[in-house]
Amino acid sequence: MKIAIIGTGYVGLTTAVVLAYLNHDVAAVDKDESKLNLLHEGRSPIHEPGIQSLLEEVQHTIRFTPNVAEVVPEAELILIAVGTPPKKNGEADTQHVEQAAKEVAQVCLPDRHYTLVVKSTVPIGTNQRVAEVVAEVFSERGIPGNISIASNPEFLQEGLALQGAFYPDRIVVGANSDEAIDTLRRLYKPILEQTFDPPSEFPRPSSYHLPPMMTTDPNSAEMIKYAANTFLALKISFINEIAGLCEEVEADVTEVARGIGLDGRIGNKFLQAGLGWGGSCYPKDTAALLGVAAQSGYEMPITEAARTINFRQRDRVIEKLRSTLGTLKRKTIGILGLAFKPNTDDIREAPALDIVRELIAAGATVRAHDPIAIGNAHRALSGNGETEDNKVIFTEDVYELPYDADALVLVTEWELYHKLELRRLAKQMKTPILIDGRNVYSPEEARAAGFHYIGIGRA
């Protein structure tokens, strides 16, 4: 199938590479010249396990261009995967989606049928709005136009993007026309029937079952995306709330999570207490959902509380440091992990950045390590002057991190941090205190290595 994808961010690029691997004829459009230059050289602008090698494998079959008019007229299906950044009031800004739809409608051939698919995460009602935008352009052009519109939300998990694209739990399609649904069913046929040869880096999991393609109306499809993310966000916030109480009553949240997770109705996933969620989705999508609700004058206290609890986790780390060290002035704190989660260099809404900023504001010096996100973190913190006067020192070698430090805070649970030589770290510190923000270590193990250990939700 001939496909044009507008936007080559995490979603657009992952989709482009996977669809090209499935032998579709893919063209990807992006206005960002630096991104296009990288892509023309066969280099991925995003860090995502496996994407570089898969891109190299399919590169000769994907066309990357800044020009919608070059690829849309010949396409059968057009996917919009542009960003929907938050507005000041938290609502998602759909101007790039509408602009993309407009540009597509301007170059559609009058005698051809197209399916236009919105993959970006958008407020409920956006697909309807896109249909209106497209109809307006057709009317200005004086052509009837022949386009079906569908919502096809993505559930991309950073660090697992390709795995999730090849082996999704489900595919959701919201459309009012059978034609659009049929086209999407043809698009995803190799995935729905798992007829492709798995790439060597992404073997098919033995327990994997064929995924359902759920079809519904566009508004419900848009809501599914927000509801799914908000549910996962509040599941994490719930266990974090329980973790706080565990600390008060001397219970262990990891045991509690194990015990409740064994209940099939609850399930054991997304019950890891810690520093909470960051990234490009949960903070933005929960805020956007509240924005949608506010427009209807509808209150969503559970969603509000999930956000409050999430951001409180970051403050609680600072409180733990204060109650252990007294003042933070002139103290040196080592930060293990800057990315919002492992296997990505994404630092958007990362707990680490807020914690670093708080520490600097309290007069501490920060030493920070991350396997791949130092560059991004440096840029983000430089903007506010936090990296000036050596207030934040980035170390490439994790064993240089604890030098002269008063405490370490493990913020991101990188695989590397699961196997640290704790004794070696502790020896270099002024006071060997470990705040384990992801409960990676057992208290016994850390204490045996000489640390004063403080986890999350553990007595």
Total residues binding ligand UDX (CB under 6 A): 20
Nearer to ligand UDX, 156 or 401 (CB): 156
CB of 274 to ligand UDX, least distance (A): 5
Q: Which stretch binds ligand UDX (CB under 6 A): 1-9, 104-112, 151-159, 376-384?
A: 151-159
In the block, residue with structure tokens 């809501």: 223
Q: Which two tokens stand for residue 287?
A: 């805020």
Distances (CA, A) of 172 to 175, 225, 234, 253, 343: 10, 9, 22, 34, 26
In the complex, least distance from residue 240 CB atom to ligand UDX, rounded to whole angstroms: 7
- Report the residue number, 101 or 172, with the smaller CB distance to ligand UDX: 172
Residues 217-256: x where in contact with ligand UDX by CB under 6 A, - otherwise, as a string: ------------x--x---x--------------------
State yes or no: residue 130 binds ligand UDX (CB under 6 A). Answer: no
By the rule CB under 6 A, 281 interacts with ligand UDX: yes
156 binds ligand UDX (CB under 6 A): yes
| Residue 90 or 145 with smaller CB distance to ligand UDX | 90
Q: Rank residues 168 and 432 by Cβ distance to ligand UDX and give the closer one.
A: 168
- Candidates 115, 120, 152, 272: give the one binding ligand UDX (CB under 6 A): 272
30, 91, 158, 241: which one contacts ligand UDX (CB under 6 A)?
A: 158
In the bound state, the residue with its beta carbon closest to ligand UDX is 281
- Residues 181, 150 contacting (CB under 8 angstroms): yes
**Binding of ligand UDX at residue 277 (CB under 6 A)?**
yes
CB of 291 to ligand UDX, least distance (A): 17
Quote the least distance from Cβ 172 to ligand UDX, whole Å.
11
In 3D space, the residue among 349, 18, 262, 301 whose CA is nearest the CA of residue 164 turns out to be 18
Nearer to ligand UDX, 45 or 279 (CB): 279
Question: CB of 442: closest distance to ligand UDX in angstroms?
Answer: 18
**Binding to ligand UDX by residue 155, rule CB under 6 A?**
yes
Active site annotation includes 281: yes
Catalytic residue among 118, 137, 246, 281: 281
- Which of 118, 271, 288, 434 touches ligand UDX (CB under 6 A)? 271
Nearer Cβ to ligand UDX, position 134 or 243?
A: 243
Kindly write out the interface string for residues 40-79 of this chain, putting x where it contacts ligand UDX by CB under 6 A and - elsewhere: ----------------------------------------
SS (H, E, C) the chain: CEEEEECCCHHHHHHHHHHHHCCCEEEEECCCHHHHHHHHCCCCCCCCCCHHHHHHHHHHHCEEECCHHHHCCCCCEEEECCCCCECCCCCECCHHHHHHHHHHHHHCCCCCCEEEEECCCCCCCHHHHHHHHHHHHHHHHCCCCCEEEEECCCCCCCCCHHHHHHCCCCEEEEECCHHHHHHHHHHCHHHHCCCCCCCCCCCCCCCCCCCCEEEECHHHHHHHHHHHHHHHHHHHHHHHHHHHHHHHHCCCHHHHHHHHHCCCCCCCCCCCCCCCCCCCCHHHHHHHHHHHHHHCCCCCHHHHHHHHHHHHHHHHHHHHHHHHHCCCCCCEEEEECCCCCCCCCCCCCCHHHHHHHHHHHCCCEEEEECCCCHHHHHHHHHCCCCCHHHCEEECCCHHHCCCCCCEEEECCCCHHHHCCCHHHHHHCCCCCEEEECCCCCCHHHHHHCCCEEECCCCC
Taking CB under 6 A as the criterion, the residue among 45, 276, 371, 402 binding ligand UDX is 276
340 binds ligand UDX (CB under 6 A): yes
Closest approach, Cβ 237 to ligand UDX, in A, equals 9
Answer positive or negative: Cα dihedral of 66, 69, 75, 81.
Answer: positive
Number of C-beta neighbours around residue 186 at 10 A: 15
Report in angstroms how near the CB of residue 457 gets to ligand UDX at its nearest: 12
Binding of ligand UDX by 157 (CB under 6 A) = yes
CB of 292 to ligand UDX, least distance (A): 17
Out of 50, 123, 174, 274, point to the residue binding ligand UDX (CB under 6 A).
Answer: 274
Interacting residues with ligand UDX (CB under 6 A): 154-158, 229, 232, 236, 270-272, 274, 276-279, 281-282, 340-341
Which residues are known catalytic residues? 281
